[in-house]
Amino acid sequence: MPATTHPRQSARRSVKPATWWAKAWQRAVEEAAYDQGDLIAGRRLARAGRVGGIILDAGSYVAAVEDPGGLFSVAGTVPVLDDRSLDALVEAVAATPGRIAALLAGDLPHDLVEHAEELGAELLPYGGELGSVCTCDHWADPCPHALAVCTQVGWLLDTDPLVLFALRGLPRDDLLGRLHTLSLTATAADGPDADDATELDDLDVALEAALRAHRLLREWE
């Protein structure tokens, strides 16, 4: 997928996330921090708006961070889901038509994440999965600069949970395309019963509505 650049985020008073999935990301960042001092320093940099635009790709994010000591470059990593797990994640999204609309509206249903986990797709990372490299000479990894970038990635997740999907290897357009393909394949299958046919019709209607909304949003942007 092509990398996506998210504009520099303004300074804010608090790093406290609003959504449950951004809070889960924040817990992972806290787990990854070597000590509380580094975590506090990283949050201070994030709150001060010292992190530049974040370039996000499957399994990675890159940003520059400025502090009194200079300008440093941070590269962070998150494991990408394998093909089998990605298929399971798409299956979980498709299982309930309302989940598609919820994701596009900026919501991440808790039962979707639980369903995906049951199918073998871990969407939310834990601390040990968050890797980072920085051009500074700090003795611990992650350094405060990396923790600042991780914190602001959490802000992006707070606004749009599909950022998490993209980090895991399933960007928005790929998700919508795979859902559309899944709907067509299932509809063409031989002999679906009445209940299956109704569910497929519901999924197709929801997907078409989501695709129309997505196209309108892109035109507006």
Measured CA to CA in angstroms, residue 79 lies from 60, 114, 131, 167, 217 at distances of 8, 19, 9, 8, 29
Please, which residues have CB within 8 angstroms of residue 47's CB and are 6 or more apart in sequence? 11, 12, 13, 14, 15
**Residue 181's pLDDT is what?**
84
Residue 208 has pLDDT above 90, yes or no: no
Is residue 197 very low, low, confident or very high in pLDDT (cuts 50, 70, 90)?
A: very low
Q: What is the pLDDT of residues 160-185, one digit of tens each?
A: 999 999 999 999 999 999 988 877 76
Residue 55 has pLDDT above 50, yes or no: yes
Is residue 195 very low, low, confident or very high in pLDDT (cuts 50, 70, 90)?
A: very low
pLDDT, averaged across the chain: 87
Distance CA 89, CA 95 (A): 10
Mean pLDDT, residues 151-161 taken together: 96
**Residue 1's pLDDT is what?**
57
Residue 196 has pLDDT above 50, yes or no: no
Q: Which residue blocks in 11-167 are alpha helix, DSSP H? A: 20-32, 36-47, 83-94, 98-104, 110-118, 144-159, 162-167
Q: Are strands 60-67 and 131-134 parallel, antiparallel or unpaired?
A: unpaired
One-letter identity of residue 36: Q
- Of 82, 14, 20, 21, nearest to 48 by C-alpha is 14
pTM: 0.84
**Residue 27's pLDDT is what?**
97
Q: What is the pLDDT of residues 80-106, one digit of tens each?
A: 999 999 999 999 999 988 899 999 999
Residue spans of the domains in the chain: they are 4-172
Is residue 189 very low, low, confident or very high in pLDDT (cuts 50, 70, 90)?
A: low
**Residue 209's pLDDT is what?**
55
Distance CA 89, CA 86 (A): 5
